[in-house]
């Protein structure tokens, strides 16, 4: 995040207006007002809320739509050559080669994508913020050690590392003596492992500058413990960058999950996952377009909405940031 | 059979998975409804055929290769002692041999006369003698070559049990054109049949020995032909980087030292070019629309449908391409209980298992293990099956499955045990779809399952072929004969004496004393009809245990361009035989 460029004129105007109207606003009020004024971000937010609702209420959504469950194999939905039927009255999005309803699998696929996306991002943020705080606050050899470690992790080819770990841990009884078992947990672990570094760097940079500010110096002078300074003084001032970075990390993790599933090392079938569906469909895309288009569109929509919301949050939280 | 079978498996298993495997057949006792194959007679001479394949060949070395596509290449570059003509897959015909095999000493001696006037391709360019065949077989036992089936089929030769690449006492060459095998057991007739595999193709010792001294052997990079075609090579005979670029191309040209006299191969083509490593889907479409093209990959169900509907004469369904089955681990619960296994067999919708692969055209629903075209298939019950009730309904019989579950002690008719069953199947459609159908069947019966989809090497090498991995079921395994004898279908796959800690071919780990005894008798049974009866009975016994659920007798589809007169290798998987195939003028 680059800071320091002169603010945009329009936003300066707005501050001016608030000031001249004599209205005092908290940072939170300013943020929510700016966000509400950003139509694109609001649309993105609505989309994400809708997606989360669909994911949580997947069984209900599928039932209301009158579609069969995601793992129901309808043998009458394929022809004598095993070619699946396209979109029709019984199956809105058509069926896959096993006769399973693509609509209901797409709906259930949202569960995996959002679960892995949200939890994976959460873990990455937790690790990244912790490492960044420690490195930035203590400086010295602690910082050197952690920063070099971040450099090392950053220099790994992310997808290859992910594939390696995921394939090592997604077979049999898992790896590290069964501590990491196959399935969603492995995917979340892999994603957290390769994505926490960017946020750690940002947080470290912010902490380095915050720890020299007067309020921190004052708190220390009053005898506050390191822990109190970090948790009560510095961390609250990091809320904005953390929210912004988390929201931009979310679509990345969703895509990473799709990529891992596409490559066959993500969640295992028959669990519906967009990445797996797209991979499965890629051989016969010319004749069975629906099998790839609908999960693909769902993935696109989700990632787009997350990115747009992330941009909107950044604008609302830090209007001075350059785009 | 042999003790060293262990070593025999890794390649075979790979083969089984990639399209299910090495050699197929259709003799008149097979019950398949196949299209008639073109024998290629009177073909047009000249032209170059282009073969498209997404998978590379595994080896050009006749001592190593054991994979369907490799056998297809070697059929036109190598002359083995005996062979099958492409459209008569059960009739042994002499190739390098000058006449039929002579069996004496009560089946313990096999004598083969070698044809005179057969010459190696350049740079060796000398006449082939019996010693070249002797060396070819002996080097199969050399760890640097590590032939996958040498100990399986040549294991009864005197001295083979101690062989490691040096001379084997039981293989003798009284003169330049006579080869004598002395055996410890009366199995000469099986040995004669097994010489159709490429290990019996001659290898010039003086030329190959330095290459064989390296680990692994470098002979494949310098391979010398005896057939009508050879891999293009430089003046020293090096083919690697010349005629063969791994992962990219293979070029077969005519062997200048080959003479049509004394060979049954017409060899119409001027050459064969392989294009390796592209997308199978794209190759498939190119083949249907193009000229002079053959697709060596198994076509996708979509391509099969398109070819079947729009270009019926550009697709050939090769009968007798093996049996696919789901192996249930009889060594551990819950499938140590025969009633639970029978419940799974009864519930499985084999009709749907076939449909996701392309439907009726790609094979018949299996109900036992010997398949159409293998001797004993009809005697074991043919397409009707052996009569067991749990395989009587191809579309699945849930009521019967519930009855078997109740008989196994689950009063609700559903499984109520708590453990999660490990199911390991093949990744990639359509195999992954079959695995998922099987997985869903188990879940519908109340089992908790964890399904892993992996590639074939991992499936056999780390899971299904490794008893300590404790995999409960392997839905995507399959078996195909090595040559026209029922023993090669059943013996390794179900004999309790062949349960190994690694590379175990007996995936269900079936160890039934009565079946083991019957197999020991079957191995020594002589005569086609007697062997067919003996092994048909063994097939019925195996089927009755429900240790594995047979679900498909493969008919392998092969696709080629409209101007290609493809002569399918029915002993293989219906690939066009390059030495018989021609281009239409």
Per-residue pLDDT 10s for chain A (323 aa) are 444 444 444 555 555 555 555 566 777 788 888 888 888 989 999 999 999 999 999 899 888 888 888 888 888 888 888 888 888 888 888 888 888 999 999 999 999 888 888 999 999 999 999 999 999 888 889 889 999 999 888 888 877 877 777 667 655 566 666 666 667 777 888 888 888 988 899 999 999 888 888 888 898 889 888 888 888 888 888 888 888 888 888 888 888 888 887 776 777 778 888 888 888 888 777 788 898 899 999 999 988 998 898 888 888 877 565 44
Q: What is the pLDDT of residue B8?
A: 35
- Mutation site for A-interface testing, chosen from B280, B301, B350 by largest number of A Cβ within 10 Å: B301
What is the nearest CA distance from A7 to chain B, expressed in angstroms?
53
Contacts of B368 (CB under 8 A, 6+ apart): B380, B381, B385, B386, B391, B539, B540, B542, B543, B550
**Cα–Cα nearest to B65, from B97, B115, B5, B23:** B23
How confident is the model at residue B264, as a pLDDT? 92
Q: CB-based contacts of B206: which residues, under 8 Å, 6+ apart?
A: none
Q: Which residue has the tokens 């551990």?
A: B332
- Going by their DSSP bridges, the two strands B229-231 and B178-182 should be labelled as unpaired
Dihedral angle of Cα B227, B228, B234, B239, to the nearest 10 degrees = -50
**pLDDT value of residue B197:** 94
| Rounded distance between C-alpha atoms, residue A209 and residue A136, angstroms | 9
Sign of CA dihedral B85, B89, B95, B99: negative
Residues 6+ apart with CB under 8 A from B294: B49, B50, B51, B52, B287, B558, B559, B560, B561, B564, B566, B575, B576, B581
Residue of A83, A170, A264 lying closest to B302 (CB–CB): A83
Question: Do residues B487 and B437 touch, judged by C-beta distance below 8 A?
Answer: no
Fold of B323-554: Dipeptide-binding Protein; domain 3 (3.10.105)
Q: How far apart are the first and last CA of chain B?
A: 50
- A151: its two tokens: 């450099």
User: Rg of the Cα trace of chain A?
Assistant: 23
- Pairing of β B178-182 and β B109-113: antiparallel
What single-letter DSSP state applies at residue A268? P
Return d(Cα A74, Cα A72) in angstroms, integer: 6
Distance CA A251, CA A265 (A): 19
Distance between A76 CA and the closest CA of chain B, angstroms: 10
Phi and psi based region of residue B413 (left: phi greater than 0; alpha: psi -120 to 50; beta: remaining): left
pLDDT tens-place string over residues B166-211: 999 999 999 999 999 999 999 999 999 999 999 999 999 999 999 9
Same fold, B56-273 and B323-554: no
Q: Which regions of B261-382 does DSSP assign to beta strands (E)?
A: 271-276, 293-295, 315-318, 323-328, 363-364
Query: DSSP assignment of B137-176, as one string?
Result: HHHHTSTTT--SSHHHHSTTBTTGGG-SSS--TTEEEEET
Segment B449-467, tens digit of pLDDT: 988 888 887 888 889 989 9
More confident residue, B484 or B312: B312
How many other C-beta atoms can be found within 10 angstroms of the C-beta atom of residue A222?
9
- In this prediction, residue B28 carries a pLDDT of 34
Residue B434 pLDDT > 50: yes
User: What integer best gives the mean pLDDT of chain B?
Assistant: 89
Between CA B335 and CA B339, with CA B336 as vertex, the angle to 5 degrees is: 70
The per-residue pLDDT for A165 is 74
- Token pair 């390296």 is found at B214
Residues in chain B closer than 8 A to A283 (CB atoms) = 281, 300, 302, 429
Domain spans, chain B: 56-273, 323-554
Instruction: Name the superfamily (CATH) of residues A37-317.
Output: MetI-like (1.10.3720.10)
CB < 8 Å to A265, chain B: none
C-alpha to C-alpha distance for B195 and B137, rounded to whole angstroms: 10
Burial class of residue A88 in the structure, from the number of CB atoms within 10 Å of its CB (0-12 exposed, 13-18 middle, 19+ buried): exposed
- Taking a C-beta distance cutoff of 8 angstroms, is the pair B37, B577 a contact? no
Say whether pLDDT at B27 is over 50. Answer: no
Q: What is the pLDDT of residue A1?
A: 41
Q: List the one residue out of B485, B525, B547, B537 whose CA is nearest residue B380.
A: B537
Q: Which of B349, B358, B452 sits opposite A171 (nearest CB)?
A: B452
pLDDT in tens, A51-63: 999 999 989 988 8
d(CA B160, CA B200): 15
Interface of B with A (CB under 8 A): 281, 300-302, 304-305, 308, 349, 351-352, 355-361, 422, 427, 429-430, 432-433, 436-437, 439-440, 443, 450-454, 458, 462-463, 469
CB contact under 8 Å between B450 and A264, yes or no, is no
pLDDT band with cut points at 50, 70 and 90 for residue B375: confident
Interface contacts (A, B; CB < 8 Å): 83
Verify whether the Cβ–Cβ distance B432 to A280 is below 8 Å. yes
Of A82, A171, A264, the CB nearest to B356: A82
Residue window 60-119, chain A: list those with CB within 8 Å of chain B: 71, 73, 75, 78-83, 97-99
Of B305, B422, B462, the CB nearest to A83: B305
Please judge whether B462 and A268 are an interchain contact, meaning their C-beta atoms are less than 8 angstroms apart.
no
* Stretch B294-306: mean pLDDT: 88
| Cis status, amide bond into B334, omega within 30 of 0 | yes
What pLDDT, in 10s, does the model give residues B464-509?
989 999 999 999 998 888 888 899 999 989 999 888 888 888 999 9
Spatial separation of the C-alpha atoms in residues A71 and A73, rounded to whole Å: 6
Maximum Cα interatomic distance, chain B, rounded to a whole number of Å? 76
Is B56-273 CATH 3.40.190.10?
yes
**Three-state DSSP class for residue A18:** helix
Specify the pLDDT at position A23: 64
pLDDT band at B301 (very low <50, low <70, confident <90, very high): confident
Q: Tens of pLDDT along B9-24?
A: 333 433 443 434 333 3
Contact B351 A283 (CB under 8 A): no
Chain B residues near residue A79 by CB distance under 8 angstroms: 359
- From chain A, the residues in CB contact with B359 under 8 A are 79-82
| CA atoms of B486 and B372, how far apart (whole Å) | 11
Q: Please state, in angstroms and rounded to a whole number, the distance separating the CA atoms of residues B15 and B26.
A: 20
Q: Quick check: A181 contacting B, CB < 8 Å? A: no
Of all residues in chain B, the percent with pLDDT exceeding 90 is 70
β-pair type (B448-454, B249-254): unpaired
Whether A171 has its CB under 8 Å from any CB of chain B: the answer is yes
Give the pLDDT band of residue B526 (cuts 50, 70, 90): confident
| B451 contacts on A by Cβ (under 8 Å) | 268-270
pLDDT in tens, B318-348: 888 889 999 999 999 999 999 999 999 999 9
* pLDDT tens-digit map of B529-567: 999 999 999 999 999 999 999 999 999 899 999 999 999
Nearest CA in chain A to B464: A172
C-alpha closest to that of B319 among B29, B13, B15: B29
What is the Cα–Cα distance from A128 to A130, expressed in whole angstroms?
5
A171·B433 Cβ contact <8 A: no
For residue B31, the model assigns a pLDDT of 35
Please give the order of strands across the beta sheet that includes B548-554.
B363-364, B548-554, B323-328, B473-479, B420-426, B448-454
Mean of pLDDT values over B132-154? 92
d(CA B397, CA B404): 11
């Amino acid at each position: 995040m680059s800071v320091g460029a002169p603010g945009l004129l329009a936003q300066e105007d707005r501050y001016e207006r608030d000031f001249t109207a004599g209205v005092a606003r908290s940072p939170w009020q300013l943020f929510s007002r700016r966000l509400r004024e950003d139509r694109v971000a609001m649309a993105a937010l609505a989309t994400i809320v809708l997606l989360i609702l669909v994911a949580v209420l997947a069984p209900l959504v599928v039932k209301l739509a009158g579609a069969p469950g995601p793992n129901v194999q309808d043998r009458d939905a394929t022809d004598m050559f095993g070619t699946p039927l396209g979109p029709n009255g019984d199956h809105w999005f058509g069926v896959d080669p096993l006769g399973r309803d693509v609509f209901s699998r797409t709906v259930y696929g949202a569960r995996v994508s959002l679960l892995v996306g949200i939890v994976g991002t959460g873990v990455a943020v937790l690790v990244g913020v912790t490492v960044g705080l420690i490195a930035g606050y203590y400086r010295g050899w602690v910082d050197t050690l952690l920063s070099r470690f971040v450099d090392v992790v950053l220099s790994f080819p992310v997808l290859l590392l992910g594939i390696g770990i995921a394939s090592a841990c997604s077979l049999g009884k898992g790896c590290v003596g069964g501590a990491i078992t196959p399935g969603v947990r492995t995917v979340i672990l892999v994603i957290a492992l390769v994505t926490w570094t960017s946020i750690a760097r940002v947080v470290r940079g912010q902490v380095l500058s915050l720890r020299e500010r007067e309020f921190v110096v004052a708190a220390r002078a009053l005898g506050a413990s390191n822990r109190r300074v970090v948790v009560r003084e510095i961390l609250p001032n990091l809320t904005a960058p953390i929210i912004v970075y988390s929201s931009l990390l979310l679509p990345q993790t969703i895509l990473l999950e799709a990529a891992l599933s596409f490559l066959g090392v993500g969640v295992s079938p028959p669990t519906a996952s967009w990445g797996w569906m797209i991979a499965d469909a890629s051989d016969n895309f010319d004749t069975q377009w629906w099998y790839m288009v609908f999960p693909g569109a769902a993935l696109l929509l989700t990632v787009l909405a997350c990115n747009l919301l992330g941009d909107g949050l950044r604008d609302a939280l830090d209007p001075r940031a350059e785009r | 059979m042999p003790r060293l079978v262990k070593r025999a498996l890794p390649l075979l298993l790979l083969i089984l998975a990639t399209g299910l495997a090495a050699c197929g057949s259709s003799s008149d006792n097979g019950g398949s409804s196949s299209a008639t194959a073109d024998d290629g007679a009177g073909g047009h001479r000249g032209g170059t055929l282009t073969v498209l394949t997404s998978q590379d060949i595994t080896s050009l070395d006749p001592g190593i290769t054991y994979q369907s596509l490799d056998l297809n290449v070697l059929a036109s570059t190598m002359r083995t002692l005996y062979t099958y003509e492409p459209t008569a897959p059960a009739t042994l015909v002499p190739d390098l041999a000058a006449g039929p095999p002579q069996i004496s000493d009560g089946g313990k001696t096999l004598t083969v006369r070698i044809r005179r006037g057969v010459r190696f391709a350049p740079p060796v360019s000398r006449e082939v003698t019996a010693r070249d065949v002797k060396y070819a077989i002996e080097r199969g036992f050399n760890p640097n070559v590590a032939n996958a089936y040498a100990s399986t089929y040549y294991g009864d030769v005197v001295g083979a049990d101690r062989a490691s690449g040096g001379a084997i006492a039981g293989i003798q060459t009284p003169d330049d054109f006579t080869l004598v095998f002395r055996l410890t057991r009366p199995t000469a007739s099986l040995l004669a049949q097994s010489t159709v595999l490429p290990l019996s193709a001659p290898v010039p010792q003086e030329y190959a020995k330095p290459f064989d001294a390296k680990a692994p052997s470098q002979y494949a990079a310098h391979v010398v032909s005896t057939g009508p075609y050879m891999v293009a090579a430089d003046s020293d005979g090096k083919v690697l980087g010349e005629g063969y670029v791994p992962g990219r191309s293979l070029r077969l040209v005519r062997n200048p030292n080959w003479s049509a006299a004394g060979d049954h191969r017409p060899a119409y083509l001027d050459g064969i070019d392989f294009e390796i490593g592209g997308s199978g889907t794209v190759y498939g479409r190119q083949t249907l629309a193009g000229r002079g093209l053959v697709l060596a990959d198994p076509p996708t169900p979509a391509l099969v449908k398109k070819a079947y509907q729009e270009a019926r004469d550009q697709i050939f369904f090769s009968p007798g391409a093996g049996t696919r089955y789901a192996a249930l681990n009889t060594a551990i619960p819950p499938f140590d209980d025969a009633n639970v296994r029978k419940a799974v067999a009864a519930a499985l919708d084999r009709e749907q298992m076939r449909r996701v692969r392309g439907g009726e055209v790609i094979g018949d629903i299996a109900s036992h293990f010997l398949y159409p075209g293998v001797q004993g298939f009809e005697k074991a019950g043919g397409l009707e099956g052996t009569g067991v009730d749990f395989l009587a309904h191809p579309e699945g019989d849930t009521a019967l499955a519930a009855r078997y579950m109740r008989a196994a002690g689950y009063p609700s008719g559903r499984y109520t045990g708590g453990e999660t069953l490990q199911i390991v199947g093949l990744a990639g459609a359509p195999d992954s779809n079959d695995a998922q159908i099987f997985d869903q069947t188990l879940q519908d019966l109340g089992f908790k399952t964890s399904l892993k989809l992996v590639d074939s090497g991992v499936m056999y090498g780390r899971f299904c072929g490794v008893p300590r991995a404790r995999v409960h079921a392997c839905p995507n395994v399959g078996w195909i004969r090595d040559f026209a004898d029922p023993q090669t279908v059943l013996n390794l796959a179900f004999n309790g004496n062949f349960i190994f800690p690694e590379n175990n071919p007996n995936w269900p780990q079936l160890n039934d004393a009565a079946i083991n005894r019957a197999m020991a008798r079957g191995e020594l049974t002589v005569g086609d009809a007697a062997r067919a009866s003996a092994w048909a009975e063994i097939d019925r016994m195996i089927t009755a245990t429900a240790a594995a659920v047979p679900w498909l007798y493969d008919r392998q589809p092969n696709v080629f361009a409209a101007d290609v007169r493809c002569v399918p290798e029915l002993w293989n998987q219906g690939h066009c035989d390059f030495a018989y195939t021609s281009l239409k003028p």
